[in-house]
Structure 1
Amino acid sequence: MMADSLLKNKHLLWRAGFGVGIHQIDDLKNKNIKTLMNELFKEDRFSEITYDTPDPVSVTDYMSSTAPADKKKEMQRINREQNNELNLNFLNSIVNSKEQMREKMAFFWHGHFASRVINPRFNKQLLNTIRKNALGNFKDLLFEVSQSPAMLNFLNNQQNKKDHPNENFAREVMELFTMGRGNYTEKDVREGARAFTGWSYDKEGNFKERKNLHDEDSKTFLGKTGNFDGNDVLNIILEQKATAQFITTKIYKFFVNEKPDQDIVNTLSANFYNSGYDIKKLMTEIFSSTWFYDQKNIGNRIKSPVELMAGIMRILPMHIQNPENLIVYQKLLGQMLLYPPNVAGWPSGKSWIDSSTLMLRLQVPQIWSGLRPLEYSPRQDDDIDMGMKSRETALNKSFKNPNITIDWGRIEQLFANKNCEDYLLLSTQSLDMNSVKNFSDKSIKMNVINLMSTPEYQLM
């Protein structure tokens, strides 16, 4: 069954972006899908996400093994501040950028090419590489990510040298970034690792091929033989139809349905391969297809913590006095930008919900509206602060008040002659709307807060 136009528009805004923005409510019912898609896919001049926190005078002095403990501590503090600023600036772009499709696609690739390093300059470089190429060509994206210092560092390729190959980078490139398990052998991993020997970077974060560390001998990789280097290996991987199939399946699961329709995925994958890995073309095909708007594909995904937070921030006009609190919420809910749990990225679906996160997810609208305090502690995780435990980063009393001011006057005005649920929820079929409206006073403010506090609001 096909959805009506308002439902289709909400569905598209959640999947190709981060939900309905407050500025989109007035004409959302009347917009056709093509117009909305053009708005979502519109790309402005690319601008990098960065941080303003000043760099130390000399990174090498601070991090050398002979540096005094206080200098190292200072460097750790600066790293933490820069990474936090980068995190918040990325979140701000996710919430406020007009280029919603670029940011949503970057958010997807950010979990696909998962990396976790302490160096904020490396994090910044990888994040902007992903954002710049998010809707471009997968080949360009793969090459630039594979040569980024963040990824080479995270997957230990600076330790990959001739006569002593380190297989970590080559294995993850094939298993997680391109082909997926079952499409290569252990011999391919070993030979691929030999091809990547010497791929490294300098202290400024520039990619370096260290020729003296590269294995010059012949290699046999995925059925081809030659004196291959890392570029050859990536090109051979891209020649495999399994790569297009793996990437397309993952995109389908993220943007459409966690249970893939194999016939549709096969068609999308063939078109993606034949287009030379044109990401924008693939996403346009998905969002233009009638099957994307089938009832079974709507409201079937649990919002990730960042999607949940961003969705609330997009529709409620708010001033956040202490934005660093938003990092605490990311930690509490289990998804901290720039800090995936491991190289496989974040799990999805029901894994977002457990006894510690569900109640907080349902209470965020009330906490942010100042109706209840924050009464949670982050899960114990030794490296939640990138190995930098400190009193500054511990959850303390100053975080109990998020210091968020919401412009309820604007919300009251906007929803004066509208049903709030039409814009906040994808479905109200399982919801007793009388109970929601009678739960407290009949104001639009309380209606909005109550709707956002329902299990239905967790779905997209």
Structure 2
Amino acid sequence: MNGLQQYTQALGLRKAKHLLRRASFNYSVEALNQFAELTPEQAFSKLTENQNIEWTEPYDPLPNGSPDGNWTSSSENPNSFSGQGRKRRIVTSWWWYNTINKSSLKAKLTFFLHTSFTVSKDDGAGSSTHFFDHLRLLEYYAFGNLKALAKKITFDNSMLNYLDNTQNNANNPNENYAREFLELFTILKGPQNGNGNYTNYTEHDIQQTAKVFSGIKTKADRSIIDSDTNLPMGRIVINQHDQNDKTFSSAFNYQTITGRNTENGIVDELNEYVEMVFSMDATAISYCRKLYRFFVKSEWDENVENNIITPLAAQLKNDNYNILPTLKTLLTSQHFYDLDDSDSTDEILGSIVKSPLQLISETISFFKLDIPHPTDNSSDFYTFFSFIHNSYLAAAGMNLWGPDSVAGYPAHYQEPDFDRHWFSSNTVLSRYKMIDSLISGRNRVGNNGRIRVELDLPNFIKANMTNPSNATELITELSDYLYSEGIDSDRKDYFVENLLEGFPDYYWTNAWLQYEGTGDDSVVKSRLNALITRMINAPEFQLM
């Protein structure tokens, strides 16, 4: 098996669909057609190009008469602003709006880093401004270095708040962040080999880690700026740092980190500690398993472990944990496109249940939903995003940027179901009512209020489909774009019958031609609404 050998031919539509869904939240006809003509290497290069963001900075239109406006760039203390929960949702909407307006790997990698260094925005992450800084830190390192991020995020104000390291003092240690740093963020446990001890670290190592992290605290007013990222960071309180030497267990070869008593020395302690953790093969393997589960498939066999993940981990470590080279190897590989065995349709393409975020972002970008601009029409934009965040995503089991625990979303870690957690009896109704809400312009998941947007399907079909007057050709083209794999003739007939509603083929042809001639879309809109609802809610569209 040489699955990491690069695939060098043009992608074609089928593989372009696979890549765009796995590597971006934006999914459009134009992007699909463009990427279909590129090789995987060319496509990866395009996905990693610098792209301008649509919305520069979050904006709060409240309170009425004297808006807080661009409060995240204010010199006032972040905690002096009211409505912090609402403001954190505004920051979330800022990230999402920019995400769906560009086909970029950076958005997916930013979210991947969120699943690896988890902070829950409404559960102890601090002020909305600190949460904004946290998102920007993840974005800064999305195309960067995992090891460097592990150092910087230890000084991130949201992380310091969320996992209580701001309360970690030499004379009163708090081990929360130290434990999660090892257990969830970096090296992971490995098999248990004793009471509270694991292959990759021990309870003693957690205690020593907490001592390394002691005295690193939040800086509420954001007055300390990191010289590397140009982002606000926490502070060091020297007399609350454990200044003794820290000696680790056999899991880390009994390495000793010399205690220091200056700010620069304490930073050196942290750097030496992170270098130690990242020098272990298990750390590189843990990140490559996470990358594989996020971008390729939630489960794999020993063959994939030995021939895909292990060499990727060696590359990641040899590249000093720069993430892009390793991810390029994976996303341009024959294995990623399921071409490294005799059956190219049995394993990877269409193997992941879409997250609620992927499902709605893909639907909105594909059908070119006209979203109100967040600054020109902030009232309508926030009404729409409230539907997405508070109704649809919440009911679909995804509190965006706010998982229930530091372990993250169950879809990314909880075996044996993994991504199948997204689709359950508790979440299916919201997923199915999503398209009805976008078509009707009303919140069918929640209060039935207007959501300030409405899909114009006749206009979309007219502008983007090759032969919309032919029912079979229309459904063939739509299904080729919407589904990971082509559908057979029986499945096409099923959708054709739904479009025709029992009438012969010429019924649709005549209706479409009348729409094109007169502009009256009453008939075609009704039929297209029913068809697209059925196609979006089909099992084929729930997978990617």
Q: TM-score range by the shorter chain?
A: 0.7 to 0.9
Q: What stretches of structure 1 of length at least 5 have no aligned partner?
A: 63-74, 377-396
SS in 1 for 2:247: strand
Identify the residue that residue 269 of structure 1 maps to in structure 2.
313
Identify the residue that residue 349 of structure 2 maps to in structure 1.
298
Q: In the alignment, which of 453, 456, 459 is matched to residue 537 of structure 2?
A: 453
1:347-362 equivalences in 2 (<5 Å): 347-348=410-411, 349-362=419-432
Q: Does 1:337 align with 2:400?
A: yes
Q: In the alignment, which of 206, 220, 232 is matched to residue 189 of structure 1?
A: 206
The answer (yes or no) to whether the contact 2:58–2:90 under 8 Å persists in 1 is: yes
The answer (yes or no) to whether the contact 2:289–2:309 under 8 Å persists in 1 is: yes
SS in 2 for 1:356: coil
Cα distance, 1:34–1:232 mapped onto 2, change above 3 Å:
closer
SS in 1 for 2:426: helix
- Looking at structure 1, the residues matched to 284 and 337 of structure 2 have their Cα atoms a distance apart, in angstroms, of 24
CA deviations on 1:248-273 (whole Å, 9 max, x unpaired) are 11111110111132021001000110
* TM superposition shift of 1:405: 2.3
Cα distance, 1:152–1:48 mapped onto 2, change above 3 Å:
farther
* TM superposition shift of 1:246: 0.4
Cα distance, 1:257–1:309 mapped onto 2, change above 3 Å:
same
- Looking at structure 1, the residues matched to 237 and 440 of structure 2 have their Cα atoms a distance apart, in angstroms, of 56
Look up the equivalent residue of 1:426 and give its one-letter code. Answer: S
1:237-256 equivalences in 2 (<5 Å): 237-256=277-296
CA deviations on 1:376-415 (whole Å, 9 max, x unpaired) are 4xxxxxxxxxxxxxxxxxxxx4x53323222331333211
Identify the residue that residue 358 of structure 2 maps to in structure 1.
307
Identify the residue that residue 413 of structure 1 maps to in structure 2.
463
Q: Does 1:208 align with 2:235?
A: yes
Identify the residue that residue 424 of structure 1 maps to in structure 2.
482
* TM superposition shift of 1:371: 8.0
Identify the residue that residue 15 of structure 1 maps to in structure 2.
22
The answer (yes or no) to whether the contact 1:305–1:330 under 8 Å persists in 2 is: yes
Look up the equivalent residue of 2:455 and give its one-letter code. Answer: I
The answer (yes or no) to whether the contact 1:366–1:453 under 8 Å persists in 2 is: no
The answer (yes or no) to whether the contact 1:179–1:246 under 8 Å persists in 2 is: yes
- Looking at structure 2, the residues matched to 302 and 160 of structure 1 have their Cα atoms a distance apart, in angstroms, of 40
- Looking at structure 1, the residues matched to 409 and 79 of structure 2 have their Cα atoms a distance apart, in angstroms, of 35
Look up the equivalent residue of 2:44 and give its one-letter code. Answer: M
Look up the equivalent residue of 1:248 and give its one-letter code. Answer: C
Identify the residue that residue 404 of structure 1 maps to in structure 2.
453
SS in 1 for 2:335: helix
The answer (yes or no) to whether the contact 1:375–1:400 under 8 Å persists in 2 is: no
The answer (yes or no) to whether the contact 2:186–2:287 under 8 Å persists in 1 is: yes
The answer (yes or no) to whether the contact 1:318–1:405 under 8 Å persists in 2 is: yes
Of structures 1 and 2, the larger Rg is shown by: 2
* TM superposition shift of 1:145: 1.5
Task: Identify which of structures 1 and 2 has the higher relative contact order when contacts are C-alpha pairs closer than 8 Å and 6+ apart.
Answer: 1
Cα distance, 1:196–1:451 mapped onto 2, change above 3 Å:
same
1:140-219 equivalences in 2 (<5 Å): 140-182=148-190, 183-205=200-222, 206-219=233-246
The answer (yes or no) to whether the contact 1:420–1:447 under 8 Å persists in 2 is: no
CA deviations on 1:117-163 (whole Å, 9 max, x unpaired) are 24101110010010111011111221222210100110101111112
SS in 1 for 2:389: helix
CA deviations on 1:208-239 (whole Å, 9 max, x unpaired) are 11111011111112320132433322121111
- Looking at structure 2, the residues matched to 404 and 425 of structure 1 have their Cα atoms a distance apart, in angstroms, of 25
Look up the equivalent residue of 2:359 and give its one-letter code. Answer: L
Identify the residue that residue 131 of structure 1 maps to in structure 2.
139
Percent identical among aligned pairs is 25
- Looking at structure 2, the residues matched to 403 and 234 of structure 1 have their Cα atoms a distance apart, in angstroms, of 48
Query: Which deviates more from structure 2 when the two are superposed, residues 279-288 or residues 357-366?
Result: 357-366
- Looking at structure 1, the residues matched to 156 and 54 of structure 2 have their Cα atoms a distance apart, in angstroms, of 19
Number of equivalent positions: 425
Look up the equivalent residue of 1:459 and give its one-letter code. Answer: L
Look up the equivalent residue of 1:302 and give its one-letter code. Answer: V
CA deviations on 1:410-457 (whole Å, 9 max, x unpaired) are 333211335100101102448722112212445555443321121110
* TM superposition shift of 1:375: 4.5
Q: What stretches of structure 2 of length at least 5 have no aligned partner?
A: 61-67, 191-199, 223-232, 260-268, 339-344, 372-379, 412-418, 468-473, 501-507, 509-523
- Looking at structure 2, the residues matched to 305 and 128 of structure 1 have their Cα atoms a distance apart, in angstroms, of 23
Identify the residue that residue 325 of structure 1 maps to in structure 2.
387
Identify the residue that residue 83 of structure 1 maps to in structure 2.
88
CA deviations on 1:168-219 (whole Å, 9 max, x unpaired) are 1111011111000131000000111111110112212431111110111111
1:46-65 equivalences in 2 (<5 Å): 50-53=57-60, 54=68, 55=71, 59=77
* TM superposition shift of 1:36: 2.3
- Looking at structure 1, the residues matched to 532 and 409 of structure 2 have their Cα atoms a distance apart, in angstroms, of 29
Aligned-residue CA RMSD in angstroms? Answer: 2.6
The answer (yes or no) to whether the contact 1:244–1:272 under 8 Å persists in 2 is: yes
- Looking at structure 2, the residues matched to 367 and 45 of structure 1 have their Cα atoms a distance apart, in angstroms, of 30
Cα distance, 1:44–1:416 mapped onto 2, change above 3 Å:
closer
Identify the residue that residue 388 of structure 1 maps to in structure 2.
none
- Looking at structure 2, the residues matched to 123 and 337 of structure 1 have their Cα atoms a distance apart, in angstroms, of 13
Q: In the alignment, which of 83, 101, 107 is matched to residue 105 of structure 2?
A: 101
* TM superposition shift of 1:354: 1.7
Q: What TM-score do you get using the length of structure 1 for normalisation?
A: 0.86
- Looking at structure 2, the residues matched to 46 and 176 of structure 1 have their Cα atoms a distance apart, in angstroms, of 31
- Looking at structure 2, the residues matched to 326 and 309 of structure 1 have their Cα atoms a distance apart, in angstroms, of 8
* TM superposition shift of 1:336: 2.4
Look up the equivalent residue of 1:90 and give its one-letter code. Answer: W
1:345-384 equivalences in 2 (<5 Å): 345-348=408-411, 349-370=419-440, 374-376=444-446
The answer (yes or no) to whether the contact 1:11–1:298 under 8 Å persists in 2 is: yes
- Looking at structure 1, the residues matched to 26 and 77 of structure 2 have their Cα atoms a distance apart, in angstroms, of 40
- Looking at structure 1, the residues matched to 282 and 95 of structure 2 have their Cα atoms a distance apart, in angstroms, of 32
- Looking at structure 1, the residues matched to 163 and 35 of structure 2 have their Cα atoms a distance apart, in angstroms, of 45
SS in 2 for 1:50: coil
SS in 1 for 2:370: strand
CA deviations on 1:74-113 (whole Å, 9 max, x unpaired) are x552x12321211111111221124x10111111112221
